[in-house]
Amino acid sequence: MRYSPELAAIRFGCGLSPALPPPRSVSDLLDGLIGPDEMARTYPIELFDRYQNRLIDLTALWKAHRKAKEREAKGQLRDQIDAVRDQARRDASIWFAHTLMRWIDTQSGLRERLAFFWADHFTALGKSGAIRYSGLPYVEQAIRPNMTGYFSDLLISVTTHPLMLQYLDQAYSIGPGSPIARKKPGRGLNENLAREVLELHTMGVDGAYTQSDIRALAELFAGLSYDWAGGFRYRADFAQPGGETVLGQSYGGKKASLSPVLEFLRDLSVHPDTARHIARKLVVHFVSDTPDPDLVAHVARRYRESNGHLLTVYGALLEHPGAWQSELMNVKPPADFVASACRALNVRPDRLDLDRPGRLRRRLVHPMAGMGQRWMAPEGPDGWPEEDAAWITPQGLASRISWAMTRPRQLVGDLPDPRRFQWDALGSYAPASVQFAAQAAETRAEGIGLVLASPTFQRR
């Protein structure tokens, strides 16, 4: 149960690569998180701030469309609207390809893994129109730069993000005693964000909060809003007058403002229940569905001691022997399976046909849906399941095997020799059955497919 470079790449990184060395040590792993973000520079993804311009354009176009009287003018505007939307969809598929390329080319796989982890922890989806394609811009702006500082900064960044406020219905929630409620009878609170912040994002469902905490927090949150032109906006006219008592502490009271909300989120970020919940979730995600209680306790303790300093928390996870059990455990979710397979194959950007989004969808996105993961579209704010059994169903496994057998040859020029490839993909982890399959397969494609379809490759 000690550090091994191979295991570090498989369990805490994007998998083994034939082109890049695995991390040498725990400090190598951690250093990779704080250096310059080379992958983000090489394979850019638009920041949400910029993405917003598209939404501003669309708002203006729709407004003109409503006002236009002539049929022809309406038709032209409609064409422009469709063009903006299509462009967003095409760009989103390039960003998906860039996400894959980051997984393939990174020397700091842990950074990409953490980006997936936090994007899932703070699941937020666009629910209609062009907002639907803004998932990766949200992650790029609200999450990726905040993964190594204090959890409070990450929490504040996502909780005040327009996409989250839209997804969990916060933007239109207003205090029942707010100035605007007097003008708009029938409008009022919406508990959705308040509940999920406590249940999913911080304390966990076993946390020490009650329905009245949720209600009070919904009142405290009233005012968190946005408009596409300016992004996040605190609307004092939406706020519930007076202070709120949440989790036994009182917040605000005098003039409605954002600062009591931020004060609450900072307090919440260092709540012992939050420490426990985040620690456990990290261990479950990176190590095992049935986590070693010692390991969880150790990570939670470091979390509390450091006030939720995330780099310290990751360090606690990586320094503990419980994280280095040599047996591969967790099953990779479909996106991680596909991306780590592309890394083992060292897929090059020109083969991803960035200008042909239809191909990307057929080769990568649709197959992932068959494996049970619709890219960037989980069913609910709890994101994707961690349990291995949720993924390895007959239909999920059949789709994985099918992809492994047929798609790699479309993604690389010449398929490698399966006997070498089993080493590229699995290193010294390759069991005899996989080594045998790699040399006994009838064709290269089947040999590659069998290596990728092996339980060993699908676990980490």
Partner 1 sequence: MALDLTRRSFLTRSALIGCSAAASPLLTRVSFAAAPWDTRLVVIILRGGMDALDVVRPLGDPDYTSARAGLLRQDDPVIDLDGFYALHPGLQPLLPLWRAGEFGAVQAVATPYRDKRSHFDGQDLLEAGSTGLGDVAGGWLNRALGQVPGVSLRTGFALGHGEMKVLAGDTAVTDWYPDTALTLSPQAALLAEQMMAEDPLFHGAYAQAMALMGEGQEGETATNGAAKGKRRLPEHVNIASYAAEQLRGDARVVGFSLNGWDTHRAQTKGLTRALKRLSQTILTLKRELGAPVWGKTVVLAMTEFGRTVRQNGTGGTDHGTGGALLFAGGAVRGGQVLGDWPGLQESALLDRRDLMPTADLRAYVAGVLQGVAGLDRAALEGTVFPGLDMDGPTSLLL
Smallest separation (angstroms) from partner 1 to the CB of 110: 26
Number of chain residues interacting with partner 1 (CB under 8 A): 59
Q: How far apart are CA 30 and CA 354, in angstroms?
A: 32
Smallest separation (angstroms) from partner 1 to the CB of 109: 24
What is the 8-class DSSP label of residue 269? H
Q: Which is nearer to partner 1, 152 or 202 (CB)?
A: 202
Q: What x/- string results for residues 299 through 338 when contact with partner 1 is judged by CB under 8 A? A: --------------------------------x-------
431 φ/ψ angles, rounded to the nearest 5 degrees: -75, 165
Stretch that binds partner 1, among 17-25, 227-235, 266-274, 426-434 (CB under 8 A): 426-434
Stretch that binds partner 1, among 41-49, 247-255, 340-348, 369-377 (CB under 8 A): 369-377
Closest C-alpha to 256, from 234, 277, 287: 234
Q: What x/- string results for residues 204 through 243 when contact with partner 1 is judged by CB under 8 A? A: -x----xx--------------------------------
Stretch that binds partner 1, among 28-36, 39-47, 154-162, 364-372 (CB under 8 A): 364-372
CB 61 within 8 Å of CB 47: no
Cα dihedral 145/147/149/154 (nearest 10) = 80
Non-local (6+) Cβ contacts of 332 within 8 A are 340, 458, 459, 460
Q: What x/- string results for residues 173 through 202 when contact with partner 1 is judged by CB under 8 A? A: xx-x----x----xxxxxxx--x---x---
CB 308 within 8 Å of CB 270: yes
Which string of DSSP letters, residue by residue, matches 399-427?
A: HHHHHHHHSHHHHSSSPPPHHHHHHHHHG
Q: Which is nearer to partner 1, 68 or 405 (CB)?
A: 405
Q: For the purposes of burial, counting CB atoms within 10 Å of the CB of 184, is it exposed (0-12), middle (13-18) or buried (19 or more)?
A: exposed
Smallest separation (angstroms) from partner 1 to the CB of 211: 6
353 φ/ψ angles, rounded to the nearest 5 degrees: 50, 60
Q: Which of 380, 410, 419, 420 binds partner 1 (CB under 8 A)?
A: 380
CB 422 within 8 Å of CB 434: yes
Smallest separation (angstroms) from partner 1 to the CB of 445: 9
Which residue do the tokens 């409605």 mark? 256
> At what angle are helices 334-344 and 71-105 packed, to 10 degrees?
60
Smallest separation (angstroms) from partner 1 to the CB of 75: 26
Structure tokens at 410: 């479309």
Q: Which is nearer to partner 1, 33 or 441 (CB)?
A: 441
Contact residues toward partner 1 (CB under 8 A) are 168-169, 172-174, 176, 181, 186-192, 195, 199, 205, 210-211, 331, 369-370, 372, 379-380, 382, 385, 387-390, 392-399, 401-402, 405, 431, 433-434, 436-437, 440-442, 446, 449-450, 453-456, 458-459
